[in-house]
Structure 1
Amino acid sequence: MIEPWLYPVLTGVAFVTGFIDAIAGGGGLIMMPALLVSGVPPLFALGTNKLQSMCGTFVAMRNYAAKGLIEWRPNLPTALVVFAGAVSGALLVQHVEARTLALVIPLLLLANAVYILVSPRMSDEDAHQRVSASGYAPLGGVIGLYDGFFGPGTGSFFTSTLVALRGYGLTRATALTKFFNWISNVAAVLLFAIGGKVLWLLGLNMAVGAMAGGWLGSHAAMRHGAKLIRPLLVTASIAMTGRLLWGYLSA
């Protein structure tokens, strides 16, 4: 049973995480501990977090799309693969221990932060793409599977690989990331809902905060571009690395 006073508190936390997610991702590493500390069982915390994240990501995605920053048609096949991957991950997490991922993912996040720091491609200028949209789809599916299974760092992985492999500028990569993130969130919410692992009243309250944060965060990212997105991506990646390693070592 969630104490009534926790509803506005968690909605406030969702606002902060929605803002962060709209720009750099990583809000789940704030939201998940907040839910767990509030007494929400782990699988319910995952499902409820996906619900509020889905709503916040939708608002951010809509804002980016309104500015013409998302190419829908060439990326629809990848979105379908992301959806399938997220469904698989959400099924898997309900039956598999996540401890191995808790060690591997921090190392990937650290490598991701280093790449963002040193790569000259991390700007708002589009570059030559190394793989086509269809060539990127399998990697998108793997990231989607990871998002359905575990989640933290998904946005960073999508953004950095879209810049490195698809040649997108950082702001356009962030915009497309929100589309893929939203697709994977929808898949995860469907699976958790079918399994009865979503606290709907709490999740919808939190969604209000997440949507407000997503609206502000996406507008800030579009206004300031790579000057804002790049340092936040690095900060989020390093923070997630430390948080996940701490959780692994203290378990």
Structure 2
Amino acid sequence: MTERVAQQVASGAQGLAPGDQEAAAELADALAEALASGVLDGAAPGIVEGIAELDLERGRRRGYPEAVFTEGKTPNQLRAIALAIRDNPEAGITLFTRADAERAAVVLEVLPEARYEPEARLVAWPAEPPPPTGRPVVVACAGTSDLPVAREAALTAEYLGRHVTLVADVGVAGLHRIVRHLPTLRGAGAIVVVAGMDGALPSVVAGLVSAPVVACPTSVGYGAAFGGIAPLLTMLNACAPGVGVVNIDNGYGAGHLAAQIAATH
């Protein structure tokens, strides 16, 4: 069918002027390519029948590829999605987020060369991040317990093409710790600040630097922290301007936004 339709388009150009013939030939080539890809037959690439539809155009449309949120997906669903990504190179860099050991093992069956970071619960395909461009991103976390979310943010920004520095355990209980890292913070194009408990660190950092601060509350804390709601409200009420807030434990979203802010436009 592909060749027949393309030939019909091309044959219609025989009686046209040279310039129009060239345009018709280009149209025939484009049509043949579309038919070969299955787009015009209703079998678009990236379709995982009954499960998912990969957004293969997202990288071209937005500048950054799609991610796969693994929570809530069955092993068979994850396996099918990973196969579709493997078989569609245009999917580009793909991050599988919230991947515990069981879900990561399913993805790695299909993509054995992928990189798995257990603490961040992140699988990256391909394993090698792109060369860094744009301005650096710094990810700072208030406590060691915030590291899983901080590492998710750091790896996300890294795989979206930024040089990333992680600064750990610099919460407001010891302000001398964050002050010691001021030269690094002030060299960043964007800063992710991850904190649970009272969530005060983003406002402190924003008052010391010129870069935008992406605040990410975590669910770390005792009862009245309400699973991250208390630090979320603190961050939303930050006194220092230039603070944007993402959802609780959303390291991926924080790293993505920071990477976009620090990009070279």
Q: TM-score range by the shorter chain?
A: under 0.3
Which protein is richer in helix relative to its size? 1
State the TM-score, normalized to the length of structure 2. Answer: 0.21
Calculate the TM-score normalised by the size of structure 1. Answer: 0.22
Which structure has the highest strand share of the two? 2
